[in-house]
Amino acid sequence: MTHPLPRWTRAQMAARVAQDIADGSVVNLGIGLPTLIANHLPAGREVILQSENGIIGMGPAPAPGQEDYDLTNAGKQPVTLLPGGSFFHHADSFAMMRGGHLDICVLGAFQVSARGDLANWHTGAEGAIPAVGGAMDLAIGAKRTFVLMEHLTKSGESKLVETCTYPLTGLACVSRVYTDLAVIDVGPRGARVVDMAEGLAFDQLQAVTAIPLARA
């Protein structure tokens, strides 16, 4: 590639996901990039955030000096509780997921396949300590699982793949992928482009994507 592709910034990526979260939704935002989405929810939409360590109705980070480390998010960072929010134990928390009570879960990923298989917890590298946390429960639990990730790896390879080569988190669980280049639905019918970064041409997107894309 001689010219960089037109792409969304991380804030724009987060805002693009936020645009698709309807008023009244109950949502779990995964650790990392997905947590940014909370800052971009459109005004006037009431969205309830769940955190798997035992909060529903999670609020933003506290003001400096107000941190309470008995009130943290899944990334163990201090947060706040909104009026109406509540605390519960881990079995109830994962019942909310597995039981299909969450509308949307947004996760980061290493790879997503055309049919929606997800790899986001382990590179399988020799000597790497595996750590899964709630990723496998989150991936298969919510009514819809979104992925928010860069379109390409640091070395320029497509993270949308025919078959995941990293260890799987879940099978056929992702319904939509948000990248810095495009919004792409995945599933049994393959990959379909829903939206693209301003100025990006479909052929440019296809050229850097390892799976065939359909125009929506």
Partner 1 sequence: MIDKIVQSAAAALADVRDGATVMIGGFGTAGLPDELIAALLDQGARDLVVVNNNAGNGDTGLAALLGAGRVRKIICSFPRQVDSWHFDRLYHEGRIELELVPQGNLAERIRAAGAGIGAFFTPTGYGTILAQGKETREIDGRMQVLEYAIHADVALIKAERGDRWGNLTYRKTARNFGPIMAMAARCTVATVHEVVDLGALDPEAVVTPGVFVQRVVPIARTATRGAGFKASLA
Rule CB under 8 A: which residues touch partner 1? Answer: 51-55, 61, 67-72, 75-78, 81, 87-91, 93-94, 97-98, 127, 129-137, 140-141, 167-171
3-state SS of the chain: helix, strand, coil percent to 5? 20, 30, 55
Residue closer to partner 1, measured from CB, 36 or 196: 36
Smallest gap from Cβ 20 to partner 1, in A, equals: 25
Phi, psi of 122 (to 5 degrees): -160, 135
Active site residue 52: yes
Residue whose pair of structure tokens reads 């496998």 in the numeric block: 136
Whole-angstrom CA distances from 140 to 47, 145, 164, 203 are 21, 8, 17, 32
Residue closer to partner 1, measured from CB, 25 or 93: 93
Residue closer to partner 1, measured from CB, 135 or 148: 135
Torsion of CA 57, 20, 191, 181, to 10 degrees: -100
Residue tagged active-site, from 52, 67, 126, 198:
52
Residue closer to partner 1, measured from CB, 1 or 91: 91
Widest pairwise Cα distance in the chain: 53
User: What is the C-alpha to C-alpha distance for residues 116 and 98, in angstroms, rounded to an integer?
Assistant: 18
Q: How many CB atoms lie within 10 A of CB 203?
A: 8
Residue whose pair of structure tokens reads 């599933």 in the numeric block: 187
Smallest gap from Cβ 200 to partner 1, in A, equals: 30
Smallest gap from Cβ 16 to partner 1, in A, equals: 22
Smallest gap from Cβ 197 to partner 1, in A, equals: 26
User: What is the C-alpha to C-alpha distance for residues 159 and 179, in angstroms, rounded to an integer?
Assistant: 10
Q: Please give the distance of CA 189 from its chain centroid, rounded to a whole number.
A: 21
Residue closer to partner 1, measured from CB, 142 or 213: 142
Smallest gap from Cβ 6 to partner 1, in A, equals: 28
User: What is the C-alpha to C-alpha distance for residues 98 and 88, in angstroms, rounded to an integer?
Assistant: 15
Catalytic residues: 52
